[in-house]
Amino acid sequence: MEEIVCKFGGSSLASAEQIRKVWHIIESDPNRRYVVVSAPGKANPGETKITDLLINLASAVTNHFEGQHYIDLVAQKFGQIARDLGLEKDYEVLVRQDLNDRIEKYKNNSQALMNALKAAGEDNNAKLVADFFKKQGLPAIYVSPAEAGFYLENHKGVVRCLPDSYDNLREYLLERHELVVFPGFFGYDKEGNILTFTRGGSDVTGSLLAASVQADRYENFTDVDCVYAVKPDLVPNPHPIKEMTYDEMRELAYTGFNILHEDALEPVRRHNIPLHILNTNNPGGMGTIIVNRRTDFDGILTGISGKKGFCVLHVEKYLMNQEVGFAMDVLKIIADYNVPFEHMPSGIDSLSIIFREEVLTPDKERLIVNRILKELEVDACYVTHELAIIMAVGVAMKNAVGVLSRAVSALSAAGINIELVVQGPSEISILFGIKSTLCNYAIRELYKAFFNR
Ligand code: ASP
């Protein structure tokens, strides 16, 4: 018997109709033993996600605005879903009470209040889904992250899982013989305070659970059939990816593939657990399997992604390659202003450092450039803005000849000036820096060149 952890995102749980689909998926395979849920998302484009309503509620309470409107909207949404599912409990009353209790408990601590209210979406939804499964005859139980010992910590502003959570979850969950419904997105610190991951963090909970119980598979149900070779809004009928590696997904996610939370890959990758992306609205579809080692290759490139919002610091100094510690001195100056960088391609007499625009603010840029000019006696130091990064990704390129030249030819034939190019040491991706305005055009041209469509 296999053990499968399934995670369902907000769109999969946005209405009674969607939750019925989830139930069908679960009851169709007894190996699906652990179900991680998000808060209800939008049932139609005009709606607001429950998590957004809860964030607005927390801000309203903190700023002494009227928050009742948000409480009503959240409670009514849960009430409606529960009634449509034929549940006996009055979720409208229960959720209203729960939100008021959280506000009462944390009203004097705005950060704790924000976390507690954000978590209420997933927490109440897990209870509701477990109730519905029970009503349908499945032996389901809601498991609270507190009782299962799902501990997190806030490390310099980044919420992450504490190592003992793995054992705690494993021990607790393996003793449950029922179908476990577990809320995503939050856990507790050792003092008992609620902590939440960043947005979309239920993916991370699912991955951590899968790693803890050493599941055979982590199924992440969303509202797309699979991962495509480019974002589907860029080209008609994009090439579907049947299989890819975690590393390929990570590279593509870095520049814009937002299918999964970026921290969701690491726990399953480390435990070698295949991650299957599937569509709740088409569960029989092939989906995309993400694994450590691929066996299925249907082209040199796996995917192409791109993202705007980068800038480059250029440093030029004749005989730079002979100067010991030069790059370190540059990086030291940058670190003095607490600015993280993304990539650092270099030549013998020049160095380029790529940043996200939002971290290199104009004042920091001025201070850094001035110090490099003054302290390091360089020939030139300046920043160019409005750069997009395009990533051409594929593990198969490692053993293929001419991938870079094919990509460069495609871009040059399209009249796109390449401002910089980097091939990472792992040789699974090539990065191109180009003008932001050409980002989508470049992705389409590369797609044509490699996927022949
Ligand atoms: N509900 C949270 C969000 O909207 C977390 C999640 O859905 O994964 O970001």
Query: Distance between CA 275 and CA 352 in Å, rounded?
Result: 36
Using alpha carbons only, give the angle 370, 372, 374 rounded to the nearest 5 degrees. 65
Res 295: pLDDT:
83
pLDDT at 75 over 90: yes
421: in domain: yes
Query: Distance between CA 381 and CA 353 in Å, rounded?
Result: 11
86: in domain: yes
- One domain, residues 86 and 189: yes
**Where do the H-state alpha helices sit in 182-339?**
202-212, 246-254, 265-270, 326-336
With a 6 Å cutoff on the Cβ, whether 51 touches ligand 1 is yes
Residue 101 structure tokens: 């209790």
Domain containing 29 — which CATH number?
3.40.1160.10
Q: Are 259 and 50 contacting, i.e. CB atoms less than 8 angstroms apart?
A: no
Atom of ligand 1 lying closest to residue 203 CA:
8
Domain containing 308 — which CATH number?
3.30.2130.10
Average pLDDT over residues 36-53: 97
With a 6 Å cutoff on the Cβ, whether 67 touches ligand 1 is no
Query: Distance between CA 113 and CA 133 in Å, rounded?
Result: 30
Strand, coil or helix: what is 268?
helix
pLDDT at 400 over 90: no
Atom of ligand 1 lying closest to residue 41 CA:
4
Q: What's the chain's average pLDDT? A: 95
- One domain, residues 66 and 209: yes
Sign of the alpha-carbon torsion through 26, 29, 30, 34: negative
Protein residue closest via CA to atom 8 of ligand 1 = 200
- One domain, residues 158 and 24: yes
Residues ≥6 apart with Cβ < 8 Å to 167: 212
Residue 367 structure tokens: 């201070």
283: in domain: no
pLDDT at 258 over 90: no
Quick one: 246 exposed, middle or buried, by C-beta within 10 A (0-12, 13-18, 19+)?
Answer: buried
Count of domains in the chain?
2
φ, ψ for residue 391, nearest 5 deg: -115, 125
The pick from 11, 202, 220 for probing ligand 1's pocket by mutation, whose C-beta has the most ligand atoms within 8 angstroms, reads 202
pLDDT exceeding 90 applies to what percent of the chain? 92
Average pLDDT over residues 391-417: 93
341: in domain: yes
Query: Distance between CA 196 and CA 14 in Å, rounded?
Result: 21
Quick one: 316 exposed, middle or buried, by C-beta within 10 A (0-12, 13-18, 19+)?
Answer: middle
With a 6 Å cutoff on the Cβ, whether 38 touches ligand 1 is yes
Query: Distance between CA 392 and CA 261 in Å, rounded?
Result: 20
- Domain-terminating residue out of 205, 223, 241: 223
Q: Are 306 and 430 contacting, i.e. CB atoms less than 8 angstroms apart?
A: no
- Domain-terminating residue out of 192, 208, 223: 223
Protein residue closest via CA to atom 5 of ligand 1 = 200
DSSP-derived letter for residue 193 is: -
CB atoms within 10 A of CB 101: 12
Query: Distance between CA 388 and CA 385 in Å, rounded?
Result: 9
Average pLDDT over residues 233-244: 95
pLDDT at 424 over 90: no
CA of 323 to the centre of ligand 1 (A): 49
406: in domain: yes
Element spanning 349, H or E: none
Q: Are 274 and 287 contacting, i.e. CB atoms less than 8 angstroms apart?
A: no
With a 6 Å cutoff on the Cβ, whether 201 touches ligand 1 is yes
Extract the runs of DSSP E, i.e. beta strands, from 362-410: 380-393
pLDDT at 68 over 70: yes
Residues ≥6 apart with Cβ < 8 Å to 53: 70, 73, 74
- One domain, residues 359 and 212: no
Query: Distance between CA 250 and CA 263 in Å, rounded?
Result: 9
- One domain, residues 46 and 179: yes
- One domain, residues 307 and 215: no
Residue 253 structure tokens: 């996610």
Res 453: pLDDT:
60
240: in domain: no
Residues ≥6 apart with Cβ < 8 Å to 88: none
Query: From the CA atom positions of the chain, what is the Rg in Å?
Result: 24
Res 189: pLDDT:
96
CA of 383 to the centre of ligand 1 (A): 36
- Domain-terminating residue out of 223, 240, 260: 223
Residues 116-127: pLDDT tens digits?
999 999 999 999
- One domain, residues 217 and 109: yes
With a 6 Å cutoff on the Cβ, whether 186 touches ligand 1 is no
Residues forming beta bridges with residue 387, ordered by sequence position: 310, 435
With a 6 Å cutoff on the Cβ, whether 79 touches ligand 1 is no
Crossing angle for the helix pair 326-336 and 362-375, to the nearest 10 degrees = 150
Average pLDDT over residues 188-215: 97
Residue 130 structure tokens: 């477990």
Res 199: pLDDT:
96
With a 6 Å cutoff on the Cβ, whether 185 touches ligand 1 is yes
Res 156: pLDDT:
86
CA of 46 to the centre of ligand 1 (A): 18
Any idea which of 65-74, 92-101, 268-277, 418-427 has the lowest mean pLDDT?
Answer: 418-427
Per DSSP bridges, beta strands 217-222 and 275-279 are parallel
Does pTM top 0.85 for this prediction? yes
- One domain, residues 26 and 131: yes
Average pLDDT over residues 107-122: 97
55: in domain: yes
Quick one: 20 exposed, middle or buried, by C-beta within 10 A (0-12, 13-18, 19+)?
Answer: middle
pLDDT at 226 over 90: yes
- One domain, residues 57 and 186: yes
Domain interval for residue 164: 4-223
Q: Are 119 and 182 contacting, i.e. CB atoms less than 8 angstroms apart?
A: no
Strand, coil or helix: what is 328?
helix
CA of 6 to the centre of ligand 1 (A): 15
**Where do the H-state alpha helices sit in 195-275?**
202-212, 246-254, 265-270
- One domain, residues 329 and 188: no
Per DSSP bridges, beta strands 217-222 and 4-8 are parallel
- One domain, residues 31 and 177: yes
φ, ψ for residue 35, nearest 5 deg: -120, 120
Res 231: pLDDT:
94
37: in domain: yes
Residue 150 structure tokens: 């799902």
- One domain, residues 195 and 321: no
Atom of ligand 1 lying closest to residue 200 CA:
8
Residues forming beta bridges with residue 315, ordered by sequence position: 351, 381
